[in-house]
Every structure is written in structure tokens, then in C-alpha cells.
Amino acid sequence: GQNIDQPTEMTATEGAIVQINCTYQTSGFNGLFWYQQHAGEAPTFLSYNVLDGLEEKGRFSSFLSRSKGYSYLLLKELQMKDSASYLCAVIDSNYQLIWGAGTKLIIKP
């Protein structure tokens, strides 16, 4: 079966750095998305990786290792507004999007 694993919940301090991991076992791979979802709101696009390596976008970076079936989202200089769930999603060989359950990130002052 297809599976995406993320930690259920993480806590970090305002101003710090946090890394949210995502491991996947899917039938093929055609890319990986990270989405942010604030409580009670819709998911919004953060990043897309299809090649190995690090993609940086402001305070957010996303890393991919296809050989390890692994990605992480790195959030720097954490702000209270970063409190949200972070969803990892993988495009499989049939170009279907497989979603992880999400990681709830709690930011403390």
C-alpha cells in the first residue's frame, strides 16, 4: 500500500528553527508538495520538489531525497503565525496525489 508518515504534532519556540519530516512509500514518485493549513482554513501551497536537494523560499525551505523516500520542511525564524498544520503530499506513478495526515506545529512565545 501507499503510505506517508509525518509526526502528528511538534512544538517549537518563537524565533527558533524547526524541521518537519515526511517519509513516503508510494508506487512511483513524480513529485512532492508541502501545504500549510491554519485551523479551520483551506490548505495553501508552500513548496514543490521533484529533484533531490534543497529548495529555499524565504523563511521556508524544503528538502528531498528520492533514494531515501524522505523530505523535510524547514521553517526558520519562527513566528506565531506559523502555528498551523503542515501537509506532505506525494504524486505517485499514476499522477495521483497521496496525502499525509499532517503535522500540527505549535509555536510558543
User: In angstroms, rounded to a whole number, what is the distance separating the alpha carbons of residues 55 and 84?
Assistant: 21
Which of 1, 39, 42, 51 is the binder for other proteins (CB under 8 A)?
A: 42
Residue at grid coordinates 506545529:
105
Closer of 43 and 63 to other proteins (Cβ): 43
- Between CA 19 and CA 32 the distance in angstroms is 16
SS3 (DSSP) at 81 = helix
List, in order, residues 6 or more apart from 1 with CB less than 8 Å away: none
Site string for other proteins, 50-69 (x = CB under 8 A): x-------------------
| Least distance in angstroms from the C-beta of 16 to other proteins | 27
To other proteins, the closest distance from the beta carbon of 83 in angstroms equals 17
* Total residues interacting with other proteins, rule: CB under 8 A: 24
Contact call for residue 9 and other proteins (CB under 8 A): no
